[in-house]
Amino acid sequence: MNVKLIIEYDGTAYNGWQRQKNHPSIQETLENAIYSITGEKAHIIGSGRTDAGVHALSQVANFKTNTRIPLDKLPYAINSKLPEDIVVKHAEKVSEDFHARFYAKAKIYTYTIYNAPFSS
Q: Which residues are catalytic?
A: 51
Among 53, 59, 27, which Cα is nearest to 112's?
53
**Cα 97 to Cα 106: distance, rounded to the nearest angstrom:** 19
What separation in angstroms does the CA of 42 have from each of 34, 62, 67? 7, 10, 11
